[in-house]
Structure 1
Amino acid sequence: MPKKSSIYHFPVGNGDMTLLKIASNDCYFYVLIDMYIRQSCTEKDDQCNVLDELHNLLEKDSEGRPYLDALVLTHPDKDHIGGYEKYFYQGSPGDYAPAKSGEKDRIFVREIWSSPLIFRRKRKNHSLCEDAKAFRTEAKRRVELYRESKSIGPEGDRIRLIGEDIDGKTDDILDIVYKPGDIIGKVNEVTIKELTVNIYGPLSDDEFEDSEALDKNRSSVILRWGIASHGYSDPTNFILLAGDASVEAWEIIWRKFKADPKKLSYDLLLAPHHCSWHTLSHDSYSKCDNPKVSETAKKALSQARNGAVILSSSDPIKDNKNDPPNYGAKKEYESIVSSAKGTFLCLADNVKNGEKAPSVLEYRLTNEGPQKVSKTAASGSTSSAKKRTAATTTLIGHSGQAIGHG
């Protein structure tokens, strides 16, 4: 049976954690975009145990290490990098050691994708968390290895930078730098004909009108993933992932692409910043009597294809002034997908009958676009314990019927 690519959205509250499983050349490539693995998720039955779920989905290499082909960090806030230091291996590949009995092996990361800008653009009173510091140390280790050897190292030492650093700091290593406007077609130094990744951010300093816009959230890595069905090269699934990119970034992006809006089209959009109002507006939702939507930013986020889904990776969205997630933003996203005959979903609401915790949401990526996978839970099992297999899945549409994208 031909292999199928999939995307998995992990319910982590107000945080992001997305796994791409890309089928190519009769094998899978695993790419994790952001993570938020809270210690509490392994202890509380009302939280999805995303650590278990991730380990259940990943394969092990010839040395018995659970691995990712690539780990992508959109920006270094805790809710996008939480759990990295404890659960992911850092250091020389040759020093990797199995976990002690009863513990999980650390996940081995073959290649890192990150941007130097997202670590520079931070407020003085907003210091990096310990997980972000550990990630930055590992990224620097890999960059220095390349700088010294001027060659791509072995798996576990590899890194790709998204965007140039300031003041020419990456001029001597441009062979491992992807720039906005570039198209990525390989992962872990393997060309994947089914993959087309458009880079839209981080935006450069001179594209922002004011220095206040230059913080981590507004400078998130923005990637549109185009994935073809196994064996094909023309993408039929477009996934837009943008971390916490805010209204200023989307206004700039729309001005860039309004003459060719198809470059922003998507089948799946992860609502930036956990369905925050500040992705769509300069006004405060709680302090303004009549907060206004930036129509320019909204247009950038409105390029939904037929049957598109917008997902909120957040806590439950309530009709109040909270932000994020924000009820007003939810209504705006619902209006976007309504015109595309699509759906808005909150990951916190993906709770099966009889369970307390939300489950991982999976879409199969096919020639007919993304198709939601519905899983039948075994009696007495929980989302943190059951192993997902093809035998327990069926492809369904948002109304319970098979999906087809035109």
Structure 2
Amino acid sequence: MSHKIAFFASGNGDSVLLQAHDRTIMTDICHRASRCQDENDDDAPDFAPDIRATCTGDYLDIFVLTHPDQDHLCGFGEVFHLGSPDDWDDDPEDGPVKIIVNEIWCSPYGADPHYTTDVSKPVIDEIKRRKALRGTPAGERDGNRLVIMDTGSHESGTITDGLDWRLLAPTPEEANIPESDDPDNPNSSNPSSLVIRWTITVGGKKNYVLLGGDSTVEVWERIHDEVLGNDPDALAWHILLSLHHCSRRSIGRIENPDTKDETFVPSPEAEAALGEQRGDGHVIASSKRIVRGGPTPPSYHARNRYLKILADGGEVTDDVRKRFLCTGGDKEGDKPDHVVFKFSAGGPTRALMAGPFVTTTGTSSGRGGGYG
């Protein structure tokens, strides 16, 4: 039985595939389909075959949409089936078979955003199709299920024995993104991001993974105030996906932006909430290569703050730096590469990705009931 997680190289975008205890869960996708077909475009490795190899039987158990931004849902329809499972084509004339997503998780804002784009509209339409079926027998079928969650309605749960989740954000207020007065400048959906801590138990050992989409510094300051003091273990992690593709605005604030006096001011509260590392953890930046003085995200300042978190009060040594991994590469000339970990009774260990992510046990069709 395989227990793994892959952070696929997606440029500045999230594409995270988790397989544990015969369940497969994908959090966000940024699959730039047209570029992936270009063999000379090393910045867009095609990971769709790895997803398909994992989803034996052409079913994905859960797709988690942290928030409805382009870099978290693009290419969804290139890999996953859109529409009723009754309309699924199991023998298409062109291209591979699309994967049926048994269940989608999203926030209230993800289910009803104030705006869509050409990229996001197909996914939002699929969510709305499923939303209309909720409360009916059809809404409980594989390929139709939808779970809309915030901390007011969902706190924690179990997918199957050994695979558990804890929802840390958004609150109902954070999920309630106000509509902008300027239709050409909509309000950011980042504060509505789902923040989920996964627990994968193998051989009695708990492996913790913390995923937070593009959640903002205000969200993490709220988590600090409401969660850290009362239940720090709820924030524990062995693997942390850096927020918003290693953005400085998720762990601090910018004073005097866009001027020569621009200054980054880190948030001690946000960093403390993100600091519940267990053992020698790893931070993953799902981003382009981090360059000092380059466009952000990713941010060189944020990278340095994550290194301090990894150092846990000690010196930022070469061994600490090795535990910060960027899918876009670490130095000039690096090609983007996926970051993969295996889970075991000894804790998470990094694995090299050679060939498909996994070729053994996948999901099965016909599994009734929801996971929400």
Give the TM-score normalised by structure 2. Answer: 0.83
Q: Tell me, which stretches of 5 or more residues in structure 2 are unaligned?
A: 181-185, 314-318, 361-372
Q: Which residue of 141, 148, 158 maps to 2:129?
A: 141
Q: Tell me, which stretches of 5 or more residues in structure 1 are unaligned?
A: 61-65, 165-177, 187-191, 378-385, 392-406
Q: Tell me, in whole angstroms, the C-alpha distance in 1 between the residues paired with 2:122 and 2:243.
A: 24
Q: Against the structure 1 CA distance between its residues 216 and 206, is the aligned structure 2 distance closer, same or farther, given a 3 Å change threshold? A: closer
Q: Tell me, in whole angstroms, the C-alpha distance in 1 between the residues paired with 2:145 and 2:167.
A: 19
May I ask how many residue pairs the two structures share in their alignment? Answer: 341
User: Deviation of residue 104 (structure 1)?
Assistant: 1.2
Partner of 2:80: 88
Amino acid at match of 1:279: S
**4+ residue stretches of structure 1 with deviation over 6 A?**
210-214
User: Deviation of residue 360 (structure 1)?
Assistant: 2.2
User: Deviation of residue 387 (structure 1)?
Assistant: 3.7
- The answer to whether structure 1 residue 344 and structure 2 residue 333 are counterparts is no
Select between 110-119 and 194-203 the one with higher mean Cα deviation: 110-119
User: Deviation of residue 219 (structure 1)?
Assistant: 1.4
Partner of 1:293: 266
Q: Is the 8 A contact 1:42 1:51 kept in 2?
A: no
Q: Tell me, in whole angstroms, the C-alpha distance in 1 between the residues paired with 2:262 and 2:173.
A: 32
Q: Is the 8 A contact 1:18 1:34 kept in 2?
A: yes
Partner of 1:42: 37
Q: Tell me, in whole angstroms, the C-alpha distance in 2 between the residues paired with 1:29 and 1:206.
A: 29
User: Deviation of residue 102 (structure 1)?
Assistant: 5.0
Q: Report SS of the residue matched to 2:253.
A: coil
Q: Against the structure 1 CA distance between its residues 206 and 50, is the aligned structure 2 distance closer, same or farther, given a 3 Å change threshold? A: closer
Matches within 5 A, 1:368-383: 368-375=346-353
Matches within 5 A, 1:355-394: 357-375=335-353, 386-387=355-356
User: Deviation of residue 214 (structure 1)?
Assistant: 7.2
Partner of 1:264: 235
| Deviation digits for residues 79-124 of structure 1 (CA, Å, limit 9, x no counterpart) | 00001133321222122113534511111111111122235565xx
Partner of 1:78: 70
| Deviation digits for residues 40-63 of structure 1 (CA, Å, limit 9, x no counterpart) | 022143121122232233312xxx
Matches within 5 A, 1:141-290: 141-149=129-137, 153-163=140-150, 179-180=153-154, 182-186=155-159, 192-205=160-173, 215-229=188-202, 236-259=206-229, 260-283=231-254, 287=259, 288-290=261-263
Q: Tell me, in whole angstroms, the C-alpha distance in 1 between the residues paired with 2:252 and 2:294.
A: 14
Q: Against the structure 1 CA distance between its residues 291 and 388, is the aligned structure 2 distance closer, same or farther, given a 3 Å change threshold? A: closer
Q: Which residue of 52, 55, 58 maps to 1:58?
A: 55
Q: Report SS of the residue matched to 1:21.
A: strand
Q: Tell me, in whole angstroms, the C-alpha distance in 2 between the residues paired with 1:50 and 1:249.
A: 31
Q: Tell me, in whole angstroms, the C-alpha distance in 2 between the residues paired with 1:117 and 1:389.
A: 33
Partner of 2:283: 310
Q: Report SS of the residue matched to 1:156.
A: coil
Partner of 2:17: 19
Aligned Cα root-mean-square deviation (Å)? 2.9
Percent of aligned pairs with the same amino acid: 27
Q: Tell me, in whole angstroms, the C-alpha distance in 2 between the residues paired with 1:301 and 1:56.
A: 33
Partner of 2:183: none
